[in-house]
């Protein structure tokens, strides 16, 4: 019965995550949702900026602190290992729901593209960013990332396997395709308002900080395998693919010599 409750909890947490991320697409893009990033009651500028910064900071703190190994070691003294990831996903979804609900628009237009075909292309680029996010999660382990595999393994009495270091497809182009997808989705918009710019700018800053924290954890977990990967593949932009092959070969030889 306890395992079945854990499974139900994990599946409900995952369902809330799916609903939240789908809402996020409409919230950022400004379509198909009752309240988007540029809709709602307009407050005085200073109050709107402070309110939105508090919401973004709350998400950043929750998302980063709960992802740290030290927090997980403390947290799992009270929360079973099987639902630890689901609980993290649940809290992340609730924090995002609060952000969507309480976000105050700042409608001053920074740029606007009126040509319908160009605007359509930019909107498609934003949706392509979201597609990159989803694709990247499935390339590694989507259901493990969002806690479903853990509760299924727990129900079946299996021990979830230890994390393996893999770099499929997009992960051979950039080290963080999920984050790259978010950045594209946030910035590719035909109409950039001051509120949207605040959201995109602070989110991008948080992503860069999150990458630094995540790479520290990955280096501690996978050691030299991750160090060599970091030397070989760029962080967010696949600029190393554009290097002449001679330079790539020289860089690879230096990396191998350092490993030896």
pLDDT band at 73 (very low <50, low <70, confident <90, very high): confident
Contact between residue 92 and residue 63 where contact means Cβ atoms under 8 Å apart: yes
More confident residue, 156 or 257: 156
Contact between residue 188 and residue 125 where contact means Cβ atoms under 8 Å apart: yes
Task: Give the containing element (helix H, strand E) for 111.
Answer: strand 109-112
191-193 and 109-112 beta bridge pairing: antiparallel
* pLDDT given for residue 244 in this prediction: 52
Nearest to 201 by CA among 183, 175, 213, 189: 183
Q: Is the pLDDT of residue 39 over 60?
A: yes
* pLDDT given for residue 248 in this prediction: 47
- Over the stretch 203-249, which tens digit does the pLDDT of each residue have? 999 999 999 999 998 999 999 999 999 999 999 988 766 555 444 44
Q: What is the pTM of this model?
A: 0.89
Average pLDDT of every residue of the chain: 90
Q: Is the pLDDT of residue 192 over 60?
A: yes
Q: What is the dihedral of CA 46, 47, 50, 54, to 10 degrees?
A: -170
Q: Where are the alpha helices (DSSP H) in the chain?
A: 2-29, 45-65, 69-75, 81-102, 116-140, 142-145, 148-156, 177-187, 194-222, 224-232, 245-259
Rg (C-alpha) for the chain, rounded Å, is: 20
Token output for 222:
């996978």
Q: Is the pLDDT of residue 161 over 60?
A: yes
CB atoms inside a 10 Å sphere around CB 19 = 12
Q: Is the pLDDT of residue 252 over 50?
A: no
Token output for 82:
């099987």
Q: What is residue 119's three-state secondary structure?
A: helix
* pLDDT given for residue 120 in this prediction: 96
pLDDT band at 256 (very low <50, low <70, confident <90, very high): very low
Rounded CA separation 214/111 (Å): 33
């Amino acid at each position: 019965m306890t395992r079945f409750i854990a499974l139900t909890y994990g599946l409900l947490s995952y369902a809330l995550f799916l609903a939240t991320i789908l809402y996020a697409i409409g919230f950022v893009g400004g379509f198909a949702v009752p309240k988007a990033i540029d809709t709602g009651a307009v407050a005085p500028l200073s109050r709107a900026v402070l309110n939105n910064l508090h919401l973004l900071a709350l998400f950043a703190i929750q998302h980063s602190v709960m992802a740290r190994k030290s927090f997980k070691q403390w947290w799992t003294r009270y929360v079973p290992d099987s639902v630890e990831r689901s609980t993290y996903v649940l809290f992340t979804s609730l924090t995002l729901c609060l952000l969507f609900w309480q976000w105050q628009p700042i409608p001053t237009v920074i740029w606007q593209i009126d040509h319908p075909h160009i605007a359509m292309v930019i909107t498609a680029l934003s949706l392509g960013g979201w597609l990159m996010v989803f694709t990247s999660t499935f390339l590694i382990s989507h259901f493990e990332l969002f806690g479903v595999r853990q509760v299924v393994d727990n129900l079946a009495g299996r021990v979830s396997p230890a994390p393996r270091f893999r770099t499929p497809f997009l992960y051979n182009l950039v080290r963080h395709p999920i984050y790259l997808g978010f950045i594209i989705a946030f910035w590719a918009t035909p109409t950039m308002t001051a509120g949207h710019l605040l959201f995109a700018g602070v989110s991008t800053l948080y992503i860069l900080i999150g990458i630094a924290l995540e790479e520290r954890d990955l280096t501690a977990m996978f050691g030299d395998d991750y160090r060599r990967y970091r030397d070989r593949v760029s962080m967010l932009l696949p600029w190393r693919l554009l290097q002449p092959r001679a330079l790539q070969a020289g860089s690879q030889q230096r990396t191998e010599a350092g490993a030896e």
